[in-house]
Structure 1
């Protein structure tokens, strides 16, 4: 199963390199595109659930690394929850090492 990394830029201009066990993230986001924070997180939850189901179908269990990644991103996103105009930019995709 092809895994990937993707890089995000948060409202404070900090960047986070993230992991996905599936390429499904590319179906939800475009490099160079900024998304409203709440919308981004909703799409990310959905994409992560699909990625986990793909892992479960292949290996018989969900990807704990993807779950941990989502938890960290949820915590980070809470910093800007309720902030008008808060956006997350997807900077790019790359192969997982």
Structure 2
């Protein structure tokens, strides 16, 4: 499966490179755009779950790296307390 990384900028300016085992991320995010924190987490959850499910369909088990990445995104997002003005920018895709 083609894996990829997507680079994001958190509301505090921190840059993070995130992992996906599938290119499905491209269906949910566009480089150069920013998303409300809530919308970003919701879309990341859906995209990474789909990616993990694709791995499961092909190899018989879910992708622990995708699920770990999702857990990391949810944990970092929780630090911002759901502030309505908080935004996450997608900086780039790396295949």
Q: TM-score, normalised by structure 1?
A: 0.95
Match of 1:53 in 2: 53
1:62 Cα offset (Å): 0.4
1:21 Cα offset (Å): 0.3
1:66 aligns with 2:66: yes
Match of 1:83 in 2: 83
CA distance in 2, matches of 1:84, 1:53: 30
Give SS of 2:38's match. helix
1:38 Cα offset (Å): 0.4
Match of 1:30 in 2: 30
The answer as to whether partners of 2:49 and 2:66 remain within 8 angstroms in 1 is no
CA distance in 1, matches of 2:81, 2:33: 20
CA distance in 2, matches of 1:39, 1:81: 14
Gaps of at least 5 residues in structure 2 are: none
Gaps of at least 5 residues in structure 1 are: none
C-alpha offsets along residues 1-23 of structure 1, whole Å, 9 cap, x if unaligned?
Answer: 00000100001100100100000
Query: What RMSD in Å do the two structures reach over aligned CA positions?
Result: 0.7
1:57 Cα offset (Å): 0.7
